[in-house]
Structure 1
Amino acid sequence: MNMELRDVFSGVLNRYLVESQTRQIDKDIRTEFSDVIRSYLPSEREYLVKGSAGSGSRAQVPWFCIFDQRVTSKASEGYYLVYLFKTDMTGFYLSLNQAWTPFRSHEGIKLGRKNCRKVSEWLWDILQSKRYVTSDLHEPIDLAGLGRSGDLASGYEAGHICGLYYSSESLPDETRLKTDLDRMLTVYSRLVNLLIGSSDKDPLKSYQAVVSEVCNSAENLSKMFQDIKTPLPPVSKFRKIEFPRINQPSSSAKSKRNNSTKVNYALRQEHNTRVGSKGETAAIELLKQLYPKRKIEQVSSKDDSLGYDIQVSGQTQGEELYVEVKTTSSKSQYTPFFISARELEQAKTYGRRFLLLRLYDIDSNHPSYYMMTGDQLEQLSITPVTYIAEVPYS
C-alpha cells in the first residue's frame, strides 16, 4: 500500500517523541516522508522538498520545506512553504514562511524578530489586497517552543505569513490535506509572481529588496508595491476630526525623524503617486457632499503650478475656495507632509478661502480627514527640506 500525506503526518506526530533515542523517524523525515510529499507536487514547476529533524542536535520543531527553486533551495534564505510540527506533537502547521536566519544574523534576536514579523505582515497585506488569501489563513502560529527566546521555534512564528493548523486529535482526511496543499501552493506561486512583477527580476533579490525597504525606510511602506490598489471606501465612511492640537515634538522624535536611511526613491515615488491620486479622488467626492450646489473642478490636472489642487466655485464673486489636498497612508494625523513655497504663498493670499484638506489612513476602510484654512497654516512648524542650487557666474 502506497503511503499518503496523512500517513506521513500521523507518523511524525506519533513517533517523533517516542523515538528520541533510536531516531529512526528522523531518517524517515529526511528520506521516505519527503519523497511522499514530493509526489503530490505539480510536475510543471521545479519544486524541491527537504525534511529535517535537525543537523547534529535534534530539532524541537521537525519540518518539511517545499521550495520554489526560482526563489530558494534552502531554509536559511528567502521564503517557502513549510510543514512545522509543534514541540509537543499535538498538531502541526502548513505555513507560508520566511527564513529566520538572515534576520537573526544581521539584526540580533530582538530586533530581528520584530522586523521579521513586520515583513510577514507586509506580505500578508500584499496578498490580501489582491484577494489571494482569505481571513481563515491569517492566524498566528504557536509552536510551544521551549528554551531561550532566540530558538528557532520563535523565529518560525515571526516568519509566518499565512497558513493552516491541524490538530493531532482531528487530523483531516487525505482529500482535505491534498486540497489545502494545492491551495497554499497557489498562494506561494502568486506571491513569487507579485514580487517578480512584470519584469524579469530575480525572485530572491526582489524579496530581499522588500525586506530592506520595510525594515529600513523611514516611510510607512506597508502598502507600497507595484500596482496594488485597494478600493476607496464611500465618503460616508470617512471620519472627520478637529484640527489636531499642536504639540512640540520630543527630542527623541526629532532625532528619529532626522535619522538617515537608505530609501528606494523610485518605489517611494510610485507609492506617493498612487496615494496622491487616491486622495484627490476622495477629496472631490468629499467636497461634492460638503458643497452640493457648487462646481468642483480639479484644476491641478490642467496646471499643477497654481498652488492648489481643486477650485470650488462661489455663489457670488469672491466666494471661491481653493483647496490643496495632502494625503498619506499613515494612520496618524500627526504624520508630517510636504508643502511647497507656492502653496504657502497661495494660503497667505487667499486666507480663509484657502483650504488644506488633510486626508490620512487613506488605505483603510475608514480614512480620516481634517481641514485647515490658510490662516491656520501659521500654526504649523514649517521646515525647509529642499533648496535650489545654482552655479554663480560673472
Structure 2
Amino acid sequence: MHRQNKTLKKEIKKCFSQVVESGNFVLGDNVRILEEQISYFCNVKQGIGVANGSDALYLSLLACGVGNGDEVITTPFTFFATAGAITRTGAKPVFVDIDAKTWNIDANLIEEKITTRTKAILPVHLYGCPVEMDAIMEIAKRYQLKVIEDAAQALGAEFKGQKVGSFGDTCCISFFPTKNLGAFGDAGMVLTNNPDIAERIKLLRVHGAKKKYCHEILGCNSRLDELQAAILRTKYKYFEQWTNRRRQIAKKYHDLFQKQSIIVDGVNIKLPHEPTYAYHVYHQYTIQTKQRDQLKEHLKQNGVETTVYYPIPMHLQEVFAPLGYGDGDFPIAEAACNEVLSLPMFPELTDKEVGYVVQSIIDFFSK
C-alpha cells in the first residue's frame, strides 16, 4: 500500500483538505456519491455506507431477518467476521466444506445441511474468485432462503459476466486498507436491490433512528465517515486500472510457474484456479503446497513477504467449540488452512519482482 499511497499523495492531501474545510465529517456528500458509484459499478440499485465490512455482514443479516434460533449456511474457510457476524445476531453458523479448486463453498454440499431453521446462505467470494452463484441462487429460491454475498475481497469480480454483489439479497463490501479498493482505516458498504432492506440498514446504522433521538429499533453506530469516503472516491478513479494490473500480475505468475515442470499442479504446488465462468480480481494470489511452512520461511529469508489466509478454519476456532465440530469434519478446508500461501500481489508490483518471487520458489523446490 505504501507505493500506491505515495503515488496518490497530492490527491489524497487535497481530498483531506476539502473535507476539513467542509466541516461535514459523517454521512455527507462524499459518502452519498461513493454509494452511488459503487452501486452503479456493481449494477445494484442501492449502496449503504457502513463503518466496516464486518458491520456490513452483521447489518445485512439483521435486515434479512436473521436472529435467535436461525441457522445460516456458510464456509469454514474464511475470515472470522463471516461466522462472527452470524453469531452476533443470535443465529448459528452451519458450515459446509469447500471446493478443492476454488477454495469457495461447495454448492453441491449445501442442500444436505438445510433444516427447518435455515434462514440464509452466506457465500464468500474468497481471494477475489466468484462463487458458483447459479447453484446458490437456485437452492435459495427452492427453499425460500436469503442470500448474503460476502464480497469483502471481490469487488469487481464477475460470475458469467455479472458482477458479484448483484445476485443476493445483499452484498457486503470491505474497504479495509489492504483491499483492492482500500481506505485509510475501516470502511464498508452494503449493496442491495431491495428497497425495504436498504431502508432497514440505513436505520440500523444510526442507532435505529430516522429522526434524531427517536429510536424505532435497536441499531448501532456504523456510519461511514466523510474522510474515508473521500479517499475511496479518489482511489476509485484508478480501481479498474488496478484490477487489470492485478490480473496481468496473476497471468505473469501463472506463465512463469507453468514453464517449470517441477512445480506444476499436482507435483509440488497448486496454482490459483480461475473457472471459465469467472472473472477473478486476485485480491490474493494464493498457492497451495504441503511444504507451506518451509517455503514461507525460505521466501522470508530471501526477502519475500508472504501471508497465510487463513491458518485455522472457523469450525476449529475456540470460540465456536460449542458448535460441536472437530478435526476431520471438513477435510478440504482443513487441508487448505495447512497448505495455502499468499504471494505478493498488489498493482505496483513489477514484473521483475514477480520473476524474483517465482525464481525463489523454484530454488526451494530444486533443492
Report which of the two structures shows the higher radius of gyration computed on alpha carbons. 1
> Which interval holds the TM-score relative to the shorter structure?
under 0.3
TM-score, scaled relative to structure 1: 0.24
TM-score, scaled relative to structure 2: 0.26
